[in-house]
């Protein structure tokens, strides 16, 4: 369960209200104490020292402070606060869900499972525990179980885009995805009905259409994605592939050139361009592109080998 970082509330910001103003007011903090924190943050200081001075004993306050700590990269401190919140109120479902999500992010499957199962036991009508278990099963590659838990989360909270997006992932990643592609597309469509300007979901839908070999629909979905996320080279590469399969070679070449311009080191875009140029009868250019791709792949292999060696 990803928590997005709000940069404005952590470094600088406008002369107006910052997120920490609202957070402080929600906690009932002294206005002077809030302003002290804001002044420190605007001057580039970490909010951690200020947070430690509060030493609250309210579980909800601790959980909200943990969110702020996670957003500023202080995950160990956030975990400490969440465990303290659970000690103070072991019946608070969201504390278990937040701790489970934090543990899952570092691939601590066993402990995160305990947290999500506890959340479900406490309140089977709360979506958080079901969603967390769905994410856990997705990470473990148990896609059918992931779908089952995400379905339950969707029944409880149908307005959650994340539920439908990850349900689409699980369906399209299952061992026998062919019979589940339509369900995956329907899941992504539900997410897009909630936010039609989410370029990432359009990209995921395009990938599923590519897996289905429905290149026309893939091209349409990926065109939407490039309009919303024009700086993402992966989408331009995928769109170029779809156009090549449709034999729309000039459009495909433009899309692949966009991908390469954004990321000249993208080997698969060069491979795709080589195949495309070959199909266009431009053999010498095709060989040149494929040769360049091999050089890039060789560099990637060497880089990965050096990384593995340094980690031993």
pLDDT tens, residue by residue, 201-227:
999 999 999 999 999 999 999 999 999
Q: What is the pLDDT of residue 34?
A: 65
**Which of 262, 259, 240, 261 is closest to 251 using CA atoms?**
240
Beta strands (DSSP E) in the chain are none
Q: What is the pLDDT of residue 290?
A: 95
Beta strands (DSSP E) in 256-305 are none
Q: How many CB atoms are located within 10 Å of the residue 184 CB?
A: 26
Q: What is the pLDDT of residue 235?
A: 97
Q: What is the pLDDT of residue 3?
A: 29
Provide the CA 72 distance to its chain's centre, in angstroms.
17
CA distance 213 to 139: 26
Residues of the chain with pLDDT under 70: 1-34, 36-38, 40-56, 72, 300-312
Q: Which residues fall within 8 angstroms of residue 24, CB to CB, at 6 or more apart?
A: 31, 33, 34, 37
Q: What is the pLDDT of residue 29?
A: 57
**Which of 56, 129, 122, 53 is closest to 91 using CA atoms?**
122
Q: What is the pLDDT of residue 174?
A: 80
**Does residue 45 come out as left (phi exceeding 0), alpha (psi in the -120 to 50 range) or beta?**
beta
For residues 31 and 98, the answer to whether their CB atoms sit within 8 Å is no
Q: Which residues fall within 8 angstroms of residue 166, CB to CB, at 6 or more apart?
A: 131, 134, 135, 138, 146, 150
Whole-model pTM above 0.75? yes
| Helix, strand counts (H, E) of the chain | 17, 0
Q: What is the pLDDT of residue 15?
A: 43
């Amino acid at each position: 369960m990803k928590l997005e970082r709000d940069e404005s509330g952590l470094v600088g910001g406008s002369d107006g209200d910052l997120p920490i103003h609202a957070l402080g007011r929600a906690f009932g903090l002294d206005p002077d104490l809030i302003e002290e924190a804001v002044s420190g943050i605007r001057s580039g200081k970490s909010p951690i020292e200020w947070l430690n001075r509060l030493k609250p004993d309210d579980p909800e306050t601790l959980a909200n402070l943990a969110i702020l700590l996670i957003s500023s990269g202080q995950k160990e401190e956030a975990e400490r606060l969440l465990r303290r919140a659970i000690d103070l109120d072991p019946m608070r479902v969201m504390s278990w869900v937040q701790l489970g999500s934090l543990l899952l992010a570092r691939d601590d499957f066993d402990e995160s499972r305990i947290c999500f199962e506890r959340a479900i036991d406490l309140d089977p009508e709360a979506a958080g525990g079901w969603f967390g278990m769905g994410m856990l099963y997705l990470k473990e590659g148990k896609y059918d179980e992931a779908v089952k838990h995400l379905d339950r989360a969707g029944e409880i909270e149908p307005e959650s885009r994340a539920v439908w997006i990850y349900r689409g992932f699980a369906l399209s990643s299952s061992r026998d995805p062919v019979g589940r592609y339509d369900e995956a597309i329907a899941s992504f469509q539900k997410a897009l009905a909630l936010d039609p300007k989410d370029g990432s979901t359009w990209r995921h839908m395009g990938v599923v259409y590519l897996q289905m070999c429905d290149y026309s629909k893939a091209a349409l979905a990926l065109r939407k994605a490039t309009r919303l996320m024009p700086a993402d080279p992966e989408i331009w590469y995928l769109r170029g592939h779809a156009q090549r399969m449709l034999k729309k070679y000039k459009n495909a070449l433009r899309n692949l050139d966009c991908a390469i311009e954004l990321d000249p080191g993208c080997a698969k875009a060069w491979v795709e361009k080589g195949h495309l140029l070959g199909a266009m009868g431009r053999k010498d250019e095709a060989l040149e592109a494929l040769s360049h791709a091999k050089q890039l792949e060789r560099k990637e292999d060497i880089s990965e080998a050096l990384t593995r060696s340094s980690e031993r």
